[in-house]
C-alpha cells in the first residue's frame, strides 16, 4: 500500500486487513468507520479536500477520504444528455454516501464560448470537455488539474485513450467517457430497395452518387450553417489523400497550407461537391440529417450523433455506416476520426479528493454503461463496459474504432481553436461558395496560419 | 474641480441684493461642497471606469498578442501587426465594413422613412389605429435575437414560410446574394416600429394651431407636413438620426442568431466577437477590429456633436 496522503487513508490503513475485507468499497467503509470511531469526521473532511500536493498512488487510495460536495460543470444542456448525466450522478451518489454532487448545467454554446473566463474564474471542481489539442491547450495554460493518480491502476482504458488524455507535460488531465466515430451514414432499407452497394473507392462513390441523382436523391446530405460540420469532410479527405501523419502535422501548423497536398484535398472535394446537397450554408446538420432520415438523401458524412435525429428503435436500427472511401490505395482507409468526450478537473478544485473520485467513476464501466444507454449514438471508452445492450449501430462503432489504426479527433479539437474558428470556418465556407478559386483560398489560409502560429 | 462649478448660480430671490457677490465654491457650505464634489466625482469615475478605461484599454491591447489567459502582463507587444493583418490577410474584414455601411444606408434611407410614414398615417387616427400601432410596435419589444428566430421560421429553406407558400427554392439565409437583404428586412421590420413610436410622440407634440394656420392658408397636406410639421419636429429628427446610426453600428444579435455573422453576414461587431469570445481568444486581433469600429463610430459621433452644438448656439 502506498504512503497515505490524507489522515483518512492513514486511519484506514490502521484497520487490520481481516476487518477491512478485500473490496474497495469495504475499504472505504473501513475508513469511515475508523473516522467515526475517533469522532473527528469533520476534521477528516477538511483534510480530504484541498490537499493539492497529493503524491499518492493508486486511484482508490488517493480518494478514499473523499466527502462533502463536488461541483460538476456540464455543457449537456439538451434534455437527453442532461438526463443521462443526472442518472450517472445518482448512481455515483448511491455508491458514495459521503459525497454529494452538485451539477451546474450551462447552455452548451455558452459553455463553449465562455470556457476561458469560466476556467479563470471559479470553475466547478469537475467539468465536461474534449480530448485533443483543446484539452492539452488548457492543461498547458495551467487551467486544468493533474489527474495522473486517478489514471494509475486504470486497466480498462487502452493506451491510445491514455495518450489522448495526456497533456504536453506527460501528465493526464482528462478522463474519457464516451466517443463516437465519423463515417458515411446511410439507411439500410433505402439502399437495399435500390440495390446500392457500399463504395470502396472514391470512383465507386462517384458512380454511386450519379446513380442516386438519377433516382432523384441528393447523394450526400450536407449542412454547414454552423461552420464546423464541413470540417469533418475536410479531415476525411485529407486523411485519405495525404495520410494520417500529414493530417496531424498539418493541424499542428507544421505544414504549408498553400502546398499541393492541401490543394489536392480541396480539388478532390470540388469534384464531389456536386454530389452534395446544394445550399449547404443555410442548413444545419440537424436539417441535413433529417433529409437522410426522410430518405431524400442517400448518405451523410457525419459523426454518429446523426442517430440523434432518428427515433430510437427500428429507425436507428435502419441506420448503418461505412468508412469514407479510399482515395489513394497506398494510404488506404485505416485512419478514422473518433472524437472523445469526457471530463477534466479544475486547476485548484475546492474538493480535490471528491473530484478525483468522481472522475475515476466517470472512467468506470458502471458510469459509462448508463451514459451510452441514454444516448445510443455514442459508445463507452472503458473496455470493460457492458456491450450486451448495445444497438447494432453501437456494436458496429465499437468494432470500427477498435480496428482503426489511427484515430484523429476532429479539426477543431486537433488544431489551435483560434485558427480553427477564425480562419478555417470562414475559409471552408468561402470554398463551398466559390469552389473554383482554390489557389487564392489556400494562400489566404497559409498567410493567416503563419500569423497565428508564429505569434 | 473649482473650475467646473461656475454653472451654479445664486438664486435671484427678492431682497437678496445685499448678499455678497457669488465667490465660487468657497461660498458653499462644507456639506454642499462635499455633495457637489460627489456629484461631480461619481459620474466622472463611472465614465472613466466604464467608458474611457475600456476604450483606451482596447486600443492598447490592439497592439499586443494575448490569448486572454493569465494577467495582462502576458500580452506580447506586436506593434501594428494586428492592424496590417486585419487589412491585408483577413478576408472577412472588407465585407464586414461594406455590410455595416449597407446596413446603415438601408436603415437610414428605407426603414426610417417607412417608420415615419407609418407614424403619419397612424397619427390621423384611422379606425383601428391602436391595433396597427400595437402590431407595428410589437417587434420593438422583442429582442433582436428573438426577431432572428421568428424570421428563421419565415426564411428557412426547407421548412420556412416563404418557400412553402410560394414554392420557391431560395436559400434565404444561406445564399450570399440574399441573406444580407433578408436580414435587413427583418431588422427593418423591428426598426420601423421604433421610429414610428418616436415620430408618433413627436407628432402629438406639434402645436395644432400650426396645422390650422396652414389649413387656413390653403396649404396641401404634403406641404403642411414637409414645410411645417417636419421642421418643427427637429429635436425628434435628431433623436431618430442618432438612434438609427447607433442601431446600425451595433447591429449584431440578428446576424449572430442567423449564422454567427459568417458567409455574407459579416459585420464588424460579429468579427470582434468571433475573435474575442470563446476558445479562440485572439484578444489583440479582436481589439484591433474593435478599434476600427471605434474609429468608424467616431465619425458619426463627431457629426452628431456638431449638429447638437450648432443647435445650442
What is the DSSP code (8-state) at residue A296?
A: S
- The partner residues of A345 in beta bridges, in order of sequence, read A126
What is the DSSP code (8-state) at residue A4?
A: P
What are A48-88's pLDDT values in tens digits? 333 333 333 334 444 456 788 999 999 888 877 888 899 99
Residues of A whose CB is below 8 A from B274: 421-422
Q: What percent of chain A has pLDDT over 70?
A: 85
**Average pLDDT along chain B:** 84
Counting one residue from chain A and one from chain B, the pairs whose CB atoms sit within 8 A come to 104
Please give, rounded to a whole number of angstroms, the shortest distance from the CA of A10 to a CA of chain B: 37
Chain A residue closest to B262 (CA)?
A426
What pLDDT score was predicted for residue B276? 87
Whether pLDDT at A336 is above 50: yes
Which residue has better confidence, A95 or A6? A95
Please give, rounded to a whole number of angstroms, the shortest distance from the CA of B280 to a CA of chain A: 4
Residues of A whose CB is below 8 A from B162: none
What pLDDT score was predicted for residue A46? 39
Residue bearing cell 444579435: B253
CA dihedral (A433, A439, A441, A444) in degrees, to 10, reads -160
Please give, rounded to a whole number of angstroms, the shortest distance from the CA of A409 to a CA of chain B: 17
By DSSP bridging, strand A340-345 and strand A319-322 are unpaired
CB A230 within 8 A of CB A311: no
* Crossing angle between the packed helical segments B234-249 and B93-106, to the nearest 10 degrees: 150
Scanning A91-120 for CB atoms below 8 A from B yields 112-116, 120
Residue A114 phi/psi, 5-degree rounding, is -100, 10
* Crossing angle between the packed helical segments A7-14 and A41-48, to the nearest 10 degrees: 120
Residues of A whose CB is below 8 A from B173: 225, 282
- The partner residues of A187 in beta bridges, in order of sequence, read A319
Q: Single out the residue of A297, A442, A310 nearest to residue A377, CA to CA.
A: A310
- Radius of gyration over every alpha carbon of chain B, rounded to an integer in angstroms: 26
User: Cβ A120–B172 below 8 Å, yes or no?
Assistant: no
Residue ranges of domains in chain A:
40-179+342-384, 182-337
Distance CA A118, CA A141 (A): 14
Which residue has better confidence, A59 or A211? A211
Cell of B175: 445564399
Residue bearing cell 480539388: A267
Fold (topology level) of A40-179+342-384: D-Maltodextrin-Binding Protein; domain 2 (3.40.190)
pTM score, whole prediction: 0.79
- Size of chain A, expressed as the number of residues it contains: 455
Q: Single out the residue of A73, A93, A74 nearest to residue A350, CA to CA.
A: A73
b/e per residue A312-336 (b: at least 16 CB within 10 A): eeeebebbbbbbbbbbeeebebebb
What pLDDT score was predicted for residue B23? 66
Cell of A183: 463515417
Which residue has better confidence, A279 or B287? B287
Give the HSE-up count for residue A355: Cα atoms under 13 Å, Cβ half-sphere: 32
Cell of B201: 410622440
Mean pLDDT calculated for residue range A194-210: 95
Cell of A217: 436523391
Q: Is B125 exposed, middle or buried (CB count within 10 Å of its CB: 0-12, 13-18, 19+)?
A: exposed
- A415 inside 8 A of chain B by CB: no
Residue A83 phi/psi, 5-degree rounding, is -65, -40
**Average pLDDT along chain A:** 84
Pure H helices in A243-313: 244-251, 260-272, 285-293
Residues of A whose CB is below 8 A from B89: 444, 447-448, 451
Please give, rounded to a whole number of angstroms, the shortest distance from the CA of A36 to a CA of chain B: 43
What pLDDT score was predicted for residue B20? 63
- Mutation target to probe the A interface, by most A beta carbons within 10 A, among B64, B84, B158 is B158
- A369 inside 8 A of chain B by CB: no
What pLDDT score was predicted for residue A64? 56
User: Cβ A283–B157 below 8 Å, yes or no?
Assistant: yes
Residues of A whose CB is below 8 A from B65: 455
Of B68, B88, B262, the CB nearest to A425: B262
pLDDT range class, residue B123, cuts 50, 70, 90: confident
Please give, rounded to a whole number of angstroms, the shortest distance from the CA of B225 to a CA of chain A: 44
Distance CA A376, CA A391 (A): 7
Whether pLDDT at A33 is above 70: no
Of A227, A287, A418, the CB nearest to B280: A418
b/e per residue A105-131 (b: at least 16 CB within 10 A): bbeeeebbbbbbebbeeebbbbbbbbb
**DSSP secondary structure, A369-412, as one string:** HHHHHH-TTSEES-TTS--TT--HHHHHHHHHHHH-SEEE--HH
**Among A74-78, A171-175, B83-87, which stretch is predicted with the lowest mean pLDDT?**
A74-78
Whether pLDDT at B215 is above 70: yes
What is the DSSP code (8-state) at residue B216?
A: H
Give the HSE-up count for residue B151: Cα atoms under 13 Å, Cβ half-sphere: 28
Chain A residue closest to B66 (CA)?
A455
What pLDDT score was predicted for residue B96? 92
Domains and CATH numbers, chain B: 95-252 (1.10.3720.10)
Q: Single out the residue of A344, A360, A352, A345 nearest to residue A66, CA to CA.
A: A352
pLDDT range class, residue A233, cuts 50, 70, 90: very high
Whether pLDDT at A284 is above 90: no
What pLDDT score was predicted for residue A363? 92
Those residues of chain B whose CB sits closer than 8 Å to some CB in chain A are 65, 67-70, 76, 78, 81, 85, 88-92, 156-159, 171-176, 179, 259-260, 262-263, 274-275, 277-282, 285
Mean pLDDT calculated for residue range A149-168: 88
Chain A residue closest to B170 (CA)?
A279
Whether pLDDT at A173 is above 50: yes
What pLDDT score was predicted for residue B68? 79
- A422 inside 8 A of chain B by CB: yes
- The partner residues of A100 in beta bridges, in order of sequence, read A69
Which residue has better confidence, A230 or A22? A230
CB A95 within 8 A of CB A65: no
Please give, rounded to a whole number of angstroms, the shortest distance from the CA of B57 to a CA of chain A: 18
Distance CA B280, CA A416 (A): 8
- A421 inside 8 A of chain B by CB: yes
What pLDDT score was predicted for residue A358? 93
- Most confident range (mean pLDDT) of A112-121, A198-207, B120-129, B232-241 is A198-207
Mean pLDDT calculated for residue range A373-382: 89
pLDDT range class, residue B17, cuts 50, 70, 90: low
pLDDT range class, residue B312, cuts 50, 70, 90: low
CB-based contacts of A389, cutoff 8 Å, min separation 6: A369, A373
What are B231-244's pLDDT values in tens digits? 888 888 888 888 88
Residue A319 phi/psi, 5-degree rounding, is -90, 130
Domains A40-179+342-384 and A182-337 share a fold: yes
What pLDDT score was predicted for residue A444? 94
Residues of A whose CB is below 8 A from B171: 279, 281-283
What pLDDT score was predicted for residue A55? 36
What pLDDT score was predicted for residue A24? 39
In CATH, what number does A182-337 get? 3.40.190.10
Chain A residue closest to B264 (CA)?
A430
Residues of B whose CB is below 8 A from A447: 88-89
What pLDDT score was predicted for residue A66? 74
Q: Single out the residue of B269, B265, B227 nearest to residue B247, CA to CA.
A: B269
From the CB of residue A145, how many other CB atoms can be counted at a distance below 10 Å?
Answer: 23
Residues of A whose CB is below 8 A from B279: 112-113, 115-116, 134, 137, 417-418, 421
- Most confident range (mean pLDDT) of A82-91, A322-331, B203-212 is A322-331
CB-based contacts of B5, cutoff 8 Å, min separation 6: B24, B25, B36
Please give, rounded to a whole number of angstroms, the shortest distance from the CA of B259 to a CA of chain A: 6
Distance CA A208, CA A200 (A): 11
CB-based contacts of A213, cutoff 8 Å, min separation 6: A219, A275
User: Cβ B78–A455 below 8 Å, yes or no?
Assistant: yes
Q: What percent of chain B has pLDDT over 90?
A: 26
Amino acid at each position: 500500500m502506498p504512503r497515505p496522503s490524507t489522515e483518512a487513508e492513514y486511519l484506514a490503513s490502521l484497520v487490520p486487513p481481516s476487518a477491512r475485507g478485500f473490496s474497495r468499497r469495504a475499504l472505504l467503509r473501513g475508513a469511515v468507520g475508523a473516522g467515526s470511531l475517533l469522532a473527528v469526521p469533520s476534521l477528516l473532511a477538511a483534510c480530504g479536500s484541498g490537499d493539492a500536493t497529493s503524491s499518492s498512488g493508486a486511484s482508490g487510495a488517493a480518494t478514499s477520504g473523499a466527502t462533502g460536495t463536488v461541483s460538476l460543470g456540464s455543457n449537456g444542456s439538451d434534455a437527453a444528455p442532461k438526463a443521462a448525466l443526472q442518472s450517472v450522478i445518482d448512481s455515483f451518489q448511491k455508491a458514495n454516501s459521503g459525497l454529494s454532487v452538485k451539477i451546474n448545467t450551462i447552455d452548451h454554446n455558452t459553455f463553449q464560448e465562455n470556457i476561458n473566463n469560466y476556467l479563470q474564474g471559479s470553475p466547478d471542481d469537475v467539468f465536461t470537455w474534449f480530448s485533443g489539442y483543446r484539452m492539452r491547450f488548457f492543461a498547458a495554460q495551467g487551467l486544468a488539474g493533474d489527474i495522473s493518480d486517478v489514471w494509475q491502476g486504470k486497466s480498462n482504458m487502452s493506451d491510445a485513450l491514455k495518450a489522448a488524455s495526456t497533456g504536453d507535460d506527460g501528465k493526464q488531465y482528462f478522463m474519457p467517457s464516451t466517443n463516437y466515430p465519423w463515417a458515411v451514414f446511410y439507411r439500410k432499407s433505402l439502399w437495399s430497395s435500390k440495390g446500392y452497394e457500399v463504395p470502396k473507392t472514391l470512383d465507386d462513390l462517384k458512380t454511386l452518387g450519379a446513380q442516386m441523382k438519377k433516382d432523384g436523391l441528393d447523394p450526400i446530405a450536407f449542412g454547414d450553417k454552423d461552420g464546423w460540420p464541413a470540417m469533418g469532410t475536410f479531415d476525411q479527405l485529407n486523411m485519405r489523400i495525404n495520410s494520417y501523419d500529414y493530417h496531424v502535422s498539418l493541424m499542428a501548423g507544421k505544414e504549408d497550407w498553400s502546398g499541393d497536398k492541401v490543394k489536392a484535398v480541396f480539388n478532390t472535394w470540388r469534384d464531389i461537391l456536386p454530389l452534395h446537397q446544394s445550399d449547404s450554408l443555410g442548413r444545419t446538420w440537424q436539417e441535413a440529417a433529417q433529409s437522410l432520415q426522410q430518405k431524400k438523401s442517400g448518405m451523410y458524412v457525419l459523426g454518429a450523433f446523426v442517430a440523434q435525429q432518428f427515433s430510437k428503435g427500428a429507425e436507428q436500427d435502419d441506420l448503418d455506416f461505412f468508412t469514407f472511401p479510399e482515395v489513394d490505395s497506398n494510404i488506404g482507409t485505416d485512419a478514422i476520426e473518433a472524437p472523445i468526450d469526457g471530463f477534466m478537473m479544475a486547476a485548484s478544485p475546492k474538493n480535490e479528493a471528491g473530484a478525483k473520485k468522481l472522475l475515476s467513476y466517470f472512467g468506470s464501466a458502471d458510469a459509462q454503461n448508463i451514459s451510452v444507454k441514454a444516448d445510443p449514438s455514442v459508445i463507452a471508452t472503458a473496455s470493460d463496459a457492458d456491450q450486451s445492450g448495445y444497438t447494432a449501430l453501437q456494436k458496429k462503432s465499437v468494432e470500427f474504432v477498435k480496428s482503426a489504426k489511427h484515430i484523429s479527433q476532429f479539426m477543431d479539437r486537433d488544431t489551435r481553436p483560434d485558427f480553427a474558428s477564425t480562419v478555417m470556418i470562414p475559409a471552408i465556407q468561402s470554398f463551398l461558395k466559390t469552389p473554383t478559386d482554390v489557389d487564392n483560398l489556400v494562400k489566404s489560409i497559409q498567410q493567416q496560419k503563419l500569423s497565428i502560429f508564429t505569434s | 474641480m473649482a473650475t467646473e462649478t461656475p454653472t451654479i448660480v445664486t438664486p435671484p430671490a427678492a431682497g437678496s441684493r445685499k448678499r455678497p457677490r457669488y465667490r465660487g465654491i468657497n461660498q458653499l457650505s462644507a456639506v454642499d461642497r462635499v455633495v457637489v464634489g460627489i456629484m461631480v466625482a461619481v459620474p466622472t469615475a463611472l465614465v472613466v471606469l466604464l467608458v474611457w478605461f475600456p476604450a483606451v484599454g482596447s486600443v492598447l491591447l490592439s497592439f499586443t498578442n494575448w490569448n486572454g489567459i493569465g494577467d495582462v502582463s502576458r500580452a506580447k507587444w506586436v506593434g501594428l501587426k494586428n492592424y496590417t493583418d486585419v487589412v491585408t490577410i483577413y478576408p472577412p474584414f472588407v465585407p464586414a465594413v461594406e455590410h455595416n455601411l449597407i446596413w446603415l444606408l438601408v436603415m437610414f434611407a428605407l426603414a426610417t422613412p417607412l417608420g415615419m410614414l407609418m407614424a403619419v398615417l397612424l397619427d390621423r387616427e384611422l379606425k383601428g389605429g391602436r391595433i396597427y400601432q400595437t402590431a407595428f410596435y410589437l417587434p420593438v419589444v422583442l429582442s433582436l435575437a428573438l426577431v432572428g428566430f421568428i424570421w428563421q421560421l419565415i426564411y428557412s429553406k426547407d421548412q420556412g414560410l416563404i418557400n412553402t407558400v410560394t414554392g420557391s427554392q431560395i436559400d434565404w439565409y444561406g445564399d450570399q446574394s440574399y441573406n444580407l437583404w433578408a436580414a435587413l428586412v427583418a431588422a427593418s421590420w423591428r426598426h420601423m416600429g421604433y421610429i414610428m413610436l418616436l415620430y408618433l410622440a413627436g407628432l402629438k407634440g406639434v402645436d395644432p394651431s400650426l396645422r390650422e394656420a396652414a389649413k387656413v392658408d390653403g396649404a396641401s397636406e404634403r406641404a403642411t407636413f414637409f414645410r411645417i410639421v417636419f421642421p418643427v419636429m427637429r429635436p425628434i429628427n435628431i433623436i431618430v438620426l442618432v438612434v438609427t446610426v447607433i442601431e446600425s453600428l451595433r447591429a449584431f444579435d440578428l446576424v449572430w442568431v442567423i449564422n454567427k455573422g459568417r458567409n455574407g453576414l459579416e459585420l464588424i461587431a460579429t468579427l470582434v466577437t468571433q475573435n474575442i469570445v470563446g476558445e479562440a481568444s485572439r484578444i489583440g486581433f479582436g481589439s484591433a477590429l474593435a478599434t476600427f469600429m471605434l474609429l468608424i463610430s467616431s465619425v458619426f459621433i463627431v457629426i452628431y456633436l456638431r449638429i447638437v452644438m450648432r443647435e445650442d448656439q
